[in-house]
Structures are given as C-alpha cells and as structure tokens.
C-alpha cells in the first residue's frame, strides 16, 4: 500500500478537487492511502472526506498584505502576490511543507495549484505529479506570461524568485531550477485537465489533453415559465451585472441563474417572470443540453460543460484565470467576452450570440470533435500513470 499526498494550496472552489476525485477513489479501491493537504478544509472534507484517511490545512499565506491590487502579469507575479518573494514567508511555508512531508511520509505527491508543495517535493526528491488546468499547469517557457502583458518585466520577476527557490532546494540536496517553468513541468507526470480550445495558456503540443469531467449530479433545471431563448448564467458580482440582468429582461430571455454571492438587492431589483434564481448546484449535463447560451465569469469547469454540449458562451471575467479562459473561448470562436467594464456592450453581445446560426454551427462542430470523449478513459489513464510511480 502506497501513501499518496494530494495538495491544493492556491485558488478556491471545488474545481481543484472534483476532477481528481474519481482517480483517488480508484486508487483507494486499489489499496492505496490518500492523504490531503488543502487550502479549504470544508471543501476538501465535502469532496474527499469519504476516501481520505487524513485531511490537514495546506501551508499558505495567512494575511493578504501581499496583494498588489492589480492583475498578475505572469506566474512569478502571481507567486509574489501570494508571499513567495518574501524570504521569511517563503522559508516559513517551505518549512511547514517539509514538516508535513516528515509527518505524512508520502510515497508520491499529486499537486493541484500547489507551488509550495512542488518546491518541497523537488527539495526532498519526492516523486511528483502535477495536475490542473492550463492556468495552474503552465507551459515550459520563459517567462510564464499571462495574456496581454510584456515579457521583459516578467523575466526580471522570475530571475528575482529563482535564487530564493534554489537556495531552499539545494539545502536539502535537490536539483535546482533552471527557470521558473521547471517548478511546474520538471515532475514525473503531468495531468493537463482541459481541452485545447479552453487551455488558458495554450494551445500547446507535446502534452496529452485529458479533458474535464462534467458532473451529472445536482438539481434538475427548472426554467422560468416565461421568456424566449434559454440562457444559463453562473455569475459572481461584476461591475455590469445590473446591465446584464436588465438586458435579459429587455430581450425577454428565459434566464436560469446561479448567483454566487450576488447582493440580494440586485436580484430583487431585476426579478421577473422570465428570470429564475437558484441556490442549489445544477445538473450541468442536463442544463447544457437545454441551454442556448451560457453567461459566466470564465470558470473552467463550466466552460468545459458548454464546449462539450456545443453551447455558445458569453464571458464576463473577474480575474486573470477567468480572463485566460475567456481569451481562449474568443480565439477558438466559441463565443465572446467583455474584458473591460463597458456595460453598454452587454446587450449587443447577447444579441450577437442569441439566434446566431453561424455561431451555433461553430460550437456544435467543436462539440462533435469530442463526441467520443469519456472522462472515465482519462481517469483510467491517470490511475495507471500514478501506479507506475508506486
């Protein structure tokens, strides 16, 4: 029996947990032990509590004094925003990860958005698997750059990080990094859980796309009694949310919306017979089969569901990870996105996607490419690849 340590250190949401759950279930069935160090213990217990023998808090920044109040320009900038450029914070986090490794004694590490855990594994020569979407598992390049930013200042940022990282790696006898991308890519295995069309930092070659899991559990959708074309919206608060809801009412669209932490006063202001707000997680497969348009902030799992169902997408991104997904949606002609706060563009964007035969044709054509896709095939591949290391 092998001891598998799964780590999740940065980001939020079940999207860091659910894609790997069927893999871990199979591994546990095969006699292995699952240990978890998670950024959010409540989510980790909900997703993996039935199979993990140990769930502990992942070492992470406890305060937000590192936040710069602007979008991260690349991987080094994102790490700096999360305390990795601060020598004391980095050393404290690294020490905590090493202590966890000493206590838990993993035979293999599986990391999702866990740069600190990957650094620890490199320092202690623990076999590591890096899993995640194209945002948390970036390509092998220098610098690792997010869309819309310049390379030169981000090369400088990466060069500022490397000496700190390598000092910690080398003091334990590990192999130093030649460039920051080595932290994410110089591992035993990589599981890229996305599709080429929505790969945040893609498309890329030389690495297998394993796709994404679209869950079929959840509440069956109940659409409003009134309204025309069916639109599903999964939205957090964003600057133009009033204009979006007003446009939906003006166009008499049938909107089923899961509002995530949206002010109830806003929802009440726009409540109508053709809008229904829900608070329970929906059956995404059924929902996408019935929808004619998806409006969302750009979260990857929802984009994958729409891609596989051939549903056009309107992206309303809030941060860099959302923007990366939305830029790929636009580049792949799967929909459009609002990258700046321009409320007047909301209605024209909706009109350009609703009742657009050419747009629907493109989305269905892409969906057809994946007609034979079954995430269980990817699960079987990941289980076998993991057990090769045990």
- Mean pLDDT value of segment 99-111: 98
pLDDT at 19: 95
pLDDT at 66 over 50: no
Tell me the angle at which helices 151-171 and 87-104 cross, rounded to the nearest 10 degrees: 50
- Mean pLDDT value of segment 203-217: 92
Phi then psi for residue 134, to 5 deg, are -65, -15
Q: Confirm if 4 and 108 have CB atoms less than 8 A apart.
A: yes
- All structural domains of the chain with their residue ranges: 3-211+375-387, 230-369
Structure tokens at 25: 């279930």
C-alpha to C-alpha distance for 303 and 314, rounded to whole angstroms: 10
Contacts of 379 (CB under 8 A, 6+ apart): 22, 23, 26
- Mean pLDDT value of segment 93-102: 97
Multiple choice CATH, 230-369, 1.10.3660.10, 2.30.40.10, 3.40.50.2000, 3.50.50.60: 3.40.50.2000
pLDDT at 60 over 90: no
Model confidence at 69, pLDDT cuts 50, 70, 90, reads low
The Cα-based distances of 384 to 35, 132, 387 in angstroms read 19, 18, 5
Phi then psi for residue 282, to 5 deg, are -100, 155
For residue 307, what is the enclosing H or E element?
A: helix 300-309
- Mean pLDDT value of segment 139-161: 95
pLDDT at 63: 56
Structure tokens at 182: 């080595």
C-alpha to C-alpha distance for 362 and 222, rounded to whole angstroms: 27
pLDDT at 62 over 70: no
Task: Indicate the pairing of strand 313-315 with strand 230-235.
Answer: unpaired
β-bridge mates for residue 335, sequence order: 313
CA proximity to 61, closest of 95, 86, 89? 89
pLDDT at 124: 98
Phi then psi for residue 232, to 5 deg, are -100, 135
pLDDT at 6 over 70: yes
pLDDT at 41 over 90: yes
Phi then psi for residue 229, to 5 deg, are -65, 145
For 245-292, what is the HEC assignment? HHHHHHCCCEEEEEECCCCHHHHHHHCCCCEEECCCCECHHHHHHHCC
**Residue 342, helix vs strand vs coil:** coil
Q: pTM for this structure?
A: 0.94
How far is C-alpha 290 from the geometric centre of its chain's CA atoms?
Answer: 24
- Mean pLDDT value of segment 87-111: 97
DSSP state of 59: P
Residue with tokens 């269905």: 364
CATH 3.40.50.2000 fits 3-211+375-387, yes or no: yes
Half-sphere exposure of 134 (CA within 13 A, CB side): 33
- Mean pLDDT value of segment 138-166: 96
β-bridge mates for residue 108, sequence order: 4
- Mean pLDDT value of segment 193-201: 98
pLDDT at 52 over 80: yes
Contacts of 273 (CB under 8 A, 6+ apart): 224, 225, 226, 227
- Mean pLDDT value of segment 340-366: 95
What is the rounded average pLDDT for all residues in the chain? 95
Q: Do domains 3-211+375-387 and 230-369 have the same CATH topology?
A: yes
pLDDT at 359 over 60: yes
Instruction: Give the angle subtended at the CA of 256 by the CAs of 248 and 373, to the nearest 5°.
Output: 115
**Residue 378, helix vs strand vs coil:** helix
């Amino acid at each position: 029996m092998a001891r598998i340590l799964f780590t999740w250190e940065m980001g939020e949401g079940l999207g860091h947990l659910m894609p790997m759950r069927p893999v871990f279930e199979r591994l546990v069935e095969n006699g292995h032990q699952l240990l978890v160090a998670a950024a959010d213990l409540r989510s980790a217990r909900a997703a993996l509590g039935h199979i993990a023998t140990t769930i502990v808090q992942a070492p992470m920044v406890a305060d937000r004094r590192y936040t710069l109040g602007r979008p991260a320009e690349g991987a080094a900038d994102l790490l700096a925003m999360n305390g990795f450029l601060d020598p004391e914070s980095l050393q404290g986090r690294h020490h905590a990860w090493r202590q966890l490794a000493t206590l838990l004694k993993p035979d293999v590490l599986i990391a999702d958005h866990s740069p600190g855990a990957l650094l620890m594994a490199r320092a202690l020569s623990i076999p590591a698997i890096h899993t995640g979407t194209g945002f948390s598992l970036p390509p092998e390049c220098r610098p690792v750059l997010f869309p819309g930013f310049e390379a030169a200042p981000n090369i400088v940022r990466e060069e500022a990080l490397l000496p700190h990282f390598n000092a910690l790696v080398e003091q334990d006898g590990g192999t130093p990094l030649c460039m920051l991308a080595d932290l994410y890519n110089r591992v035993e295995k990589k599981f890229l859980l996305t599709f080429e069309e929505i790969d945040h930092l893609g498309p890329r070659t030389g690495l297998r796309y394993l796709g994404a899991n679209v869950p079929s559990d959840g509440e069956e959708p109940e659409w409003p009694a009134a309204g025309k074309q069916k639109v599903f919206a999964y939205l957090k608060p964003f600057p133009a949310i009033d204009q979006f809801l007003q446009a939906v009412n003006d166009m008499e669209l049938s909107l089923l919306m899961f509002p995530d932490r949206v002010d109830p006063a806003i929802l009440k202001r726009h409540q109508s017979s053709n809008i229904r707000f829900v608070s329970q997680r929906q059956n995404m497969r059924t929902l996408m089969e019935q929808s004619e348009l998806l409006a969302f902030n750009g979260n990857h799992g929802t984009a994958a569901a729409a891609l596989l169902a051939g549903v056009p997408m309107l992206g309303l991104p809030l941060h860099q990870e959302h923007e990366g997904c939305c830029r790929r949606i636009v580049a792949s002609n799967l929909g459009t996105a609002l990258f700046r706060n321009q409320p007047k563009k909301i209605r024209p964007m909706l009109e350009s996607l609703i009742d657009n035969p050419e747009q629907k044709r493109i989305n269905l054509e892409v969906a057809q490419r994946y007609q034979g896709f079954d995430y269980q095939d990817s699960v079987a591949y990941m289980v076998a690849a993991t057990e090769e290391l045990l």
